[in-house]
Structure formats: structure tokens, C-alpha cells
A and B are shown apart, each in its own frame.
Chain A
Amino acid sequence: MLGRTLREVSVALKQGQITPTELCQRCLSLIKKTKFLNAYITVSEEVALKQAEESEKRYKKGHSLGDLDGIPIAVKDNFSTSGIETTCASNMLKGYVPPYNATVVQKLLDQGALLMGKTNLDEFAMGSGSTDGIFGPVKNPWSYSKQYREKRKQNSHSENEDSNWLITGGSSGGSAAAVSAFTCFAALGSDTGGSTRNPAAHCGVVGLKPSYGLVSRHGLIPLVNSMDVPGILTRCVDDAATVLGVLAGHDPKDSTTIQDPVKPFTLPSLTDVSKLCIGIPKEYLTPELSSEVQSLWSKAANLFESEGAKVTEVSLPHTSYSIVCYHVLCTSEVASNMARFDGLEYGHRCDSDVSTEAMYAATRREGFNDVVRGRILSGNFFLLKENYENYFVKAQKVRRLIANDFVNVFNSGVDVLLTPTTLSEAVPYTEFIKEDNRTRSAQDDIFTQAVNMAGLPAVSVPVALSSQGLPIGLQFIGRAFCDQQLLIVAKWFEKQVQFPVIQLQELMDDCSSVFENEKLASVSLK
């Protein structure tokens, strides 16, 4: 049951094959078994069981709230959750219990979803590995998959297996791992430069970054307000559409959300792609791109072409400036957004009481890690009066050029762009930490970040396993607010590629009771 998709399990709930409480308990049990993945910071067991009980009552009365009623979900720990600790994986917010729910969290709860817990991330979502939070790194469930282990044996790497676990990518690595390891059916991430799509690609799940302004940011503890979007991680494209249908729409508490009403939708199955025009941005073919990803990317393009779609090379000439431009804009907003963490009202406060200024300094030194402090310093430098024109204003202009690149391409008749999501498959933790956070973020966001600059919708879809037995994802980028069209194309593609299900054999051996009647082989992605 846990291996099913959200839609499938929703049907099972409606048909009474399983009750919300049973489903909730199975997920809780698996969360405990997979604790070593470090996907969750907080497991809200009591809350989830209480919600399951309420959901069960509704099902018994035949008054289910909809597709999400009774469905276990997880939420990245940078969304405010009323009465549940929200840490951003930072000492600064350790012990902080918000008094309100983020709008997206409230919408999920209003639909009857069960909140299993808060998932791990890089501190304040600053990172691309989910390795830089105070609760330690998240381990990629694929590290323990049959597919990966067998390949490793073949390649006769007989090192200590446990020390070779893989990173999830990030910063929403906890959410991606939680969905990938079957501990929930959907999870919220956040996406500022690729933080939802990157771990989705590395963990073999679907990662959707909706259009900026389609989904409320109220209650999402910000990284870069002008680029942040709540992200959705699911096992299939249909599930992402279901969750988006619930989350999308105007929020009076977020003035940047669109006014037009949005209705829940289901994705039609595309049978004919001959009217589609798929753009392949030539600038995304970088030297750092692994040959395997590159080859899968061209296979995907060929697939569209062979099915009758028009596939055309396009140019996004300002892409190469994206990383440096992002660095200025991101750190500047970070410097501003982090100013509120001063130890006065909430969160960490140091012991020093020599003076208010000394208290600020010590609190912030103790509360933030090096990555956060580094970005605050850079950002404040860029915002200084003497630097503002040369850095911030220039970066904004470059951002506009990057956004215009996309406008030009879409105006030329392209419907959807197809690109890699990441340079390669997930790497071992020991490999990953050889480079610092900044270098890593700069490299890893290369294909995802420009989308945030332009506010466009994008989705990473798992395509195939690498020669190492690890998932590789490709990214589709759509026109602004054409999220539905984007997902329709992604759904068609997903159906063609038949990405294999993760085989968590060894995990399952430990959790046989959890999986009861299910055979893993029967778990299908459809």
C-alpha cells in the first residue's frame, strides 16, 4: 500500500481497503525504520494520528473531503506549522514553535491531509546537498536500493558500504527522501534556485516548482522572496497536479499571488504530441554535464521527435550570467531577511547581556552556520550605498535579460523547454563535501536557477537509472502560469520512460511487517 501513488491510495481509502489510521500507522512505522535517513527533523506522530482519526470519521460518514483526505504528507521544516516546532535546520530557530500555519500547510490540512512531520534541509534552505543543517545530512534512500547495491558489487567497490551513502541533493532533501522512501505520499519543499527539483532528480521522484505567484508564500520562511516558491514532491506527475490544484490560488496574505481564481484540475492524458514544440536550449550543454545525463537528454529529445513533436534548438544567451547574478540577488535578500533573527523575540538568544549590540552579535554568531553568515556578509556588502548600483542594480538588470531570454523563446513558438535537472547523478557524501557549500550550490543550480529568476514553472521528472543504478531526472520548463500544460507534457513523458521503482530490499527485510501483503515487485509507478 505504501508504494502506491497518492491517487491510488486515495482510491483505496475511498473503497475502504485501508483506513486513514492504518495508513498513518504504517507510515509512522516506516518513518521509524528509516530514521537513519535523517529525512525528518520532527515527526508529528500525535498530530498525524489525531488527524487520521478525524479523517476516518469522515470516511465512515461518507463525507470525505477529497483526494487528499487521509493522505500522509510531509512538510519541509521551513514552513510555519502551528504548534509544531519549525527550525529551518538552524540553531537560530531551534525550539521555535510558530503560532500559525503557512497558507499551503493550512490548505493541505483543510483537505484532510495527515501531517507526518517536518523534513530536513540545509540551514535556512541554503545549500544543494541537504548536508548543511544542524541535524546532520540527509541520506539518499537509493544508497540502500537493490539497484545501486548490485551495481556496486559488480563494479567491485568493496569499501565500507555504509560510509558510501549518497547525498539527496537539496535543499529539500528531507522531503525528497521522505517521498522516495515511501514514508509519505507527497511532500512540500521550497524552490529558490532548484531546491525542489534537484533533490527530486537525485531521489527519483517528481519535483514541481510552480509559477511564481501561483502558490502562496505566506508562512514559508524566506530565502529569496522574489524567487521562492513552495515546491511539490510526489511519486508521479498526476499526484503533483493534484497537490498543485489544492495549493494554487490567490492568498490575501501574500500580495504577490495572482488574483485570478484557480480551480483544482486533473491532467488529461496526451495521446498526440505532434502539435507540441519542444525547445532544447543549447547553452545547457555544458562541459560539466555528465555523458550519461547528456545521452539521456538527447534520447528524450529523440523520443519527442519520433512521436511527431517538433524539437528545436533554442538559445538562452544570458544563461551563463545566471549564477553570478543569483549570488548577488540571493545574498542581498538573505542579508535583509535574516536581520529579524536578533534573539529578542523568538529563537536563540545568547547568554551575554553586556549590551544589546553584544547580544545581537553573539546570538547571530551562535545561531547561524558559516554558510548563512557568509551570505549575510556578502549581501550587506552588495547593498552598501557605494556598491548598490554596481552590484544589486546590475544583477537586477541581468535578471531581466535572463527572464527576457525565456520570453523570446516562448514567443518564437516553443511550448516547453527540455533540459537536464542536474549535472550528474547523486554523489557520495564523502565526495560532495570536498567542495564548499558555495561552490556546490553554484554548480548544482546551473540548470534550475534561471527558471527562478524568470518565475516560470518547471518540473523534474525521473527518467532512468544511471550505469551506477542511480536515478537521473530531466527538467521541463513551461510558460509563466501555464503549469497545467507543462504537467500534461511531463505526464506524457513519464508514461513513455517507465522509470523503475526503487527497490529498498534491505529496508524491506527490516520492515516486512510494514509491507505485510505487498510485494515490492508489484509496486508500480503508474
Chain B
Amino acid sequence: MAAPMLRWCCPGRRFAFARVGCGSCHRRGPPTGSTSNGKRGQSSVAQQPHITAQKPRKGEPEWAAVVGLEIHAQIASNSKLFSGSQVCFAAPPNSLVSFFDASLPGTLPVLNRRCVEAAVMTGLALDCHINRKSLFDRKHYFYADLPAGYQITQQRLPIAVNGSLAYSVYVGRKPSQMVTRTVRVKQIQLEQDSGKSLHDDLRSQTLIDLNRAEGQLRVDANISVHRPGEPLGIRTEVKNLNSARFLAKAIDYEIQRQINELENGGEILNETRSFDFKLGCTVPMRDKEGKQDYRFMPEPNLPPLLLYDSGSLPSGADPQQVINIDQLRERLPELPRVTRQRLVQQYGMLPEHSCVLLNEVGLLEFFQNVIKETRAEPKKVTSWVLNTFLGFLKQQNLAVSESPVTPSALAELLDLLDRKAISAPAAKQVFEELWSNEGKTPAQIVAEKKLELLQDPEALEQLCRSTLEAHPDVVMDLKRGNPRAINKLIGLVRKATLGRADPTAIKEVLERQLSS
């Protein structure tokens, strides 16, 4: 039924430290590293002391927070995990519901091969052990959007276990202050999604949509705090977080709330909470007050899921009936970690630059297309893509795909710069023109705006000489030992050339004329 879901469980690890009794929710520092996969970045060691209201009491260690995430990610498949009905975003309610999805009596689940492959590939990408045999279980609870009264999941023996994901995060204000962290993945399980309840408060009705799978990512965060060396604290679960930003906010809030509660002599209840994104706080969920016993039992209608590798593949097996892990491994795309390493090695890029390239959707592809078409140095390209290009995108809140500047145009511009046809400041000007006047090539803009560098050395000599003559006071200033005076002179010459001369070349000529 149900749209196929992958569930990752990251076991609790102390990955968040917070100071005792911050008066307000402690802020995080610069943006964290990769969040696109829903993994939390590291949290901050209270970066801004000025918001600390209370100091830790003497001899009391700081609080440590332990956070475990349960990540529900929808598998990109054409049909549902256990039925042949389609998966399609924003389809009319209940238009994609098979008899099985509606839990009609007598219907049986049939496992979708594509979903198993996706789960195995996710497991491989996250460095998991792939279980050659995994099992399905029923998890029972009554809810209007769960028509069978149970959900089929993999509780006891999931498809993949014991993985890890290394990622880089910023620990200070500077981009170079990056460290690599590892989050452990406890298990990956295939799970049927429940339906969707739509509450009509006006008519006090609940409407059910069994198409399922609207949100593509949903995270439940389990959070507790304790003092290092002491047993783990009682945890709360904040459910249904659907963006990385809210996840971070909810965790920060919940850690702080728990610390405050304990500091003030209160206690933490093992409860389910939800995050109110408008108020920025977590609140207890009313509908699941009592502790649930899900009464897990094996799903009797699905035989154990067996996976093979090239060594264990039964001879004469129907390829449609078996899944070969080794074949899936070959189909894995290059993993982000490997791509980052390759960028550093191939282009001499700083590690933090490789991170930025991968974190922005489409940016790496854009970069690689520019590299392909230009003779400019990779370092130059990196700098232009990450500073100028990305800066413009961010300023206007655009995605890479929405950029008015194509990789070819940027490549052409960098070529002009590379063969010194234009100066660096002129190149910036051309870029601005490219951004606002789609359709023109860099060469056209250079011609129209007369931005090409002064190629006649005699003319430059002449301009420098007349500038020196016109500004004796600056020359005097320079001779008295003010090193910055030379920059002023360079600026004046540039102005006279209408920005068409290379500052380095100007400096050379000026210095020669002054010393002669």
C-alpha cells in the first residue's frame, strides 16, 4: 500500500553540547554542512557567550545532549511498496488506491523490486552491512489513515544495518574551519507509508487520502540530555519534522527546554511532541498520550527477503526473481564523498570549496561545464563560480537552474580574462551585464562597452606620465614614504583608461617612471 518508504535510524550519539542554562535558545554558528539528506549537522558549543544568562555552577559538568533521528524518505519508484498502484505527486485524493491499499479483506502484499533495489543502494551508499536475509513485521495501531490496523515494516531484521556517513561541517566562522564528522546509521528498513488524514474542523470530520506519500522526507528526532558520565536522560520524540531547518530548530529548542526543565528541578516525560514552526517551540502531542504497544509480529504473507551476491547467486536463477547486490553496487553513482576528494585532487581545490560545490543543487554540473569549455585555470573557475556566480544566485534567491548566465557564457568570459583581453574589474562588469541582459555574449558586451584592455604600451606610458605630472602632491606623498600613495596613482591611471588597463601593468609602468 502505501508509498514505499525508507526509514533510517541513526542511533543516539552525543553530538550536541550546550551550555548550562542559556537564557534563550542557543544559536548555531555559521550554516552547517550537508543537510540535504536530512542528517543533522553538528550542533554548536554555544557559540555566542553573550546570550548566556547563567554560568555553569562550579564543579558541574556541562550538559550533553543525545540525539537520534528516524528519517522517513520516500523512494522514487513508479508504484507502491506492496501494490501495483502508482505513486504520483499531487494526484487527486484516493485516485491511486488498489484493493490492497484500501486493505480489502483477502488482499496480500507483493514486494516491489524497485524499492528493494533502492534500499540496497542506499545501504551501500551509507556503508551499511546488507543483510542477505531480512524480514517484514506488522506494527499495530488503530488510526483512521491506517486501514489495515497495522503497518508493514522491518523491525527485527531490516535490509541494512551498521552504516555510517562522514560529512564536513564548519566549526568556526571561517569557511576553512571545517571538520569531518561521522554519524552512525543503525538500520535502514523498508516501510509502508500510512495514509493522510485531512481534518475538517468546521464539520468535525476527518477525510482520508490513501494515495499516501505527500512529504518526501519526514524526520522524527529522539532527544535527551544528561551530564557526561551519568546515565542517559529520559528522551522525548519530536515527530513529523519535514525540513532540515525545522529539524535543527526543533532539536535546539528541545535540548534547551529539557535543560531548563532539569535545572529548575523538573523532570522530563517520555512523550511524543510536535514542533510548532510558527512559535518555534515543541509541544506535547495530545492524540498519543498513552504509551503505545505496537504488538509487533512477523508479516506472514511475505516470505523472508533474500539477497544474493555474485558468489552466492543460485545457478539457473530467474534474474527477475533474484537481486544481486554486486550488480547494484556497480550501478551506484559516484558518492559525494568521492566526488569531493576527486575535486580536491583534480583541481587543487580547497576541501571547503568542494563541499559548497556539492551542497548546492546543480552547482557541480555547472562548474564542470565551465571547466570543459574554458582555458582558464581551475582555481580561477572555482573562484568565479563560488564567489561571483553563487553570490549573484544567493542575492536573488535563485537556484542554479534558474541562472540567467549559462556555463558557456561564463567560460567565454573567463577565456577573455585568461588571455588578458579584459581586466579583472572589467570582467566583473561584463558578468553583471550578462546577468541582466540575457542573450548577449561576453564578446559583444566587451565591444559595446569598450572594455578591452589597452593593448598599446605607448599609450599607457603616455597616460602614466601625464598622471604623474598632473598630481605632484601624490608623488610627493609617495616619496615621503606612504606606500598607499601608489594605489591612488594606479586608480587615477585606471580612471584615465576608462578601466581598460590592467592594474598590474599600470603599477609596473608607474614604478619605472618614478624611479627613472
Give a binary string over A313-342; 1 marks a CB under 8 Å from any B CB, 0 the rest: 000000000000000000011011011111
Contacts of B293 in A (CB 8 A): 384-385
Give a binary string over A346-367; 1 marks a CB under 8 Å from any B CB, 0 the rest: 1000000000110010000000
**A212-220, A262-270, A294-302, A435-443 - interface stretch:** A212-220
Partner of B109, one of A96, A255, A259, A392: A255
Residue B103 is within 8 A (CB to CB) of chain A in the complex: yes
Cβ of A340 and Cβ of B149 under 8 Å apart? yes
Residue B111 is within 8 A (CB to CB) of chain A in the complex: yes
Residue B108 is within 8 A (CB to CB) of chain A in the complex: yes
Cβ of A255 and Cβ of B301 under 8 Å apart? yes
Contacts of A99 in B (CB 8 A): 99, 104
**A8-16, A156-164, A177-185, A221-229 - interface stretch:** A221-229
Q: Which of B185-231 contact A (CB under 8 A)?
A: 206, 208
- Report if A345-B102 is in contact (Cβ < 8 Å); known contacts: A256-B301, A336-B140, A339-B148: yes
Cβ of A222 and Cβ of B106 under 8 Å apart? yes
CA distance A360 to B302 in the complex (A): 28
Cβ of B295 and Cβ of A380 under 8 Å apart? yes
Contacts of B300 in A (CB 8 A): 224-226, 256, 333
Cβ of A336 and Cβ of B297 under 8 Å apart? yes
Contacts of B391 in A (CB 8 A): none
Cβ of A218 and Cβ of B107 under 8 Å apart? yes
Q: Which of A211-262 contact B (CB under 8 A)?
A: 217-222, 224-226, 252-256, 259
Cβ of A255 and Cβ of B103 under 8 Å apart? no
> Chain B's nearest CB lies how many Å from the CB of A118?
13
Residue A142 is within 8 A (CB to CB) of chain B in the complex: no
Residue B138 is within 8 A (CB to CB) of chain A in the complex: yes
Residue A388 is within 8 A (CB to CB) of chain B in the complex: yes
Nearest opposing residue in chain B for A101, CB measure: B106
Residue A80 is within 8 A (CB to CB) of chain B in the complex: yes
Residue A79 is within 8 A (CB to CB) of chain B in the complex: yes
- Report if A344-B105 is in contact (Cβ < 8 Å); known contacts: A225-B301, A256-B301: no
Nearest opposing residue in chain A for B301, CB measure: A225
Residue A403 is within 8 A (CB to CB) of chain B in the complex: no
Contacts of A226 in B (CB 8 A): 300
- Report if A344-B147 is in contact (Cβ < 8 Å); known contacts: A93-B105, A336-B138: yes
Interface of A is mostly: loop
A-B contact count (CB 8 A): 100
How many B residues, CB 8 Å from partner? 31
CA distance A99 to B104 in the complex (A): 9
Contacts of B301 in A (CB 8 A): 225, 254-256
Nearest opposing residue in chain A for B98, CB measure: A100
Residue B321 is within 8 A (CB to CB) of chain A in the complex: yes
Cβ of B150 and Cβ of A336 under 8 Å apart? yes
Cβ of A344 and Cβ of B296 under 8 Å apart? no
CA distance A339 to B103 in the complex (A): 10
Nearest opposing residue in chain B for A356, CB measure: B144
CA distance A332 to B303 in the complex (A): 18
CA distance A217 to B109 in the complex (A): 12
Residue A2 is within 8 A (CB to CB) of chain B in the complex: no
Cβ of B148 and Cβ of A340 under 8 Å apart? yes
Nearest opposing residue in chain B for A216, CB measure: B108
Contacts of A500 in B (CB 8 A): none
Residue A281 is within 8 A (CB to CB) of chain B in the complex: no
- Report if A384-B104 is in contact (Cβ < 8 Å); known contacts: A340-B147, A356-B144: no
Cβ of A102 and Cβ of B150 under 8 Å apart? no
Contacts of A80 in B (CB 8 A): 104-106
Q: Which of A453-510 contact B (CB under 8 A)?
A: none
CA distance A332 to B299 in the complex (A): 12
CA distance A80 to B108 in the complex (A): 13
Partner of A342, one of B111, B142, B303: B142
Residue A98 is within 8 A (CB to CB) of chain B in the complex: yes
Residue A383 is within 8 A (CB to CB) of chain B in the complex: yes
CA distance A388 to B104 in the complex (A): 28
Q: Which of B82-109 contact A (CB under 8 A)?
A: 99, 102-109
Nearest opposing residue in chain A for B205, CB measure: A353
Of residues A217, A259, A332, A344, which shows the largest number of chain B Cβ atoms within 10 Å of its Cβ? A344
Cβ of A392 and Cβ of B108 under 8 Å apart? no
Contacts of B140 in A (CB 8 A): 336, 339, 383
Cβ of B148 and Cβ of A255 under 8 Å apart? no
CB pairs A–B below 8 angstroms (19 shown): A98-B104, A99-B99, A218-B106, A221-B105, A252-B110, A332-B297, A335-B295, A336-B140, A336-B295, A336-B297, A339-B149, A339-B150, A340-B148, A342-B149, A344-B147, A345-B102, A346-B104, A356-B206, A383-B295
Cβ-closest 6 pairs across A and B = A339-B149, A383-B295, A225-B300, A226-B300, A221-B105, A219-B106
Identify the A interface with B (CB < 8 A): 79-80, 86, 88, 93, 96, 98-100, 102, 217-222, 224-226, 252-256, 259, 332-333, 335-336, 338-342, 344-346, 356-357, 360, 380, 383-385, 388, 392
Identify the B interface with A (CB < 8 A): 99, 102-111, 138, 140, 142, 144, 147-150, 206, 208, 293, 295-297, 300-303, 318, 321
Given contacts A336-B150, A345-B103, 9 further A-B contacts (CB under 8 A): A100-B104, A254-B301, A336-B149, A339-B150, A340-B148, A342-B142, A344-B147, A383-B296, A388-B297
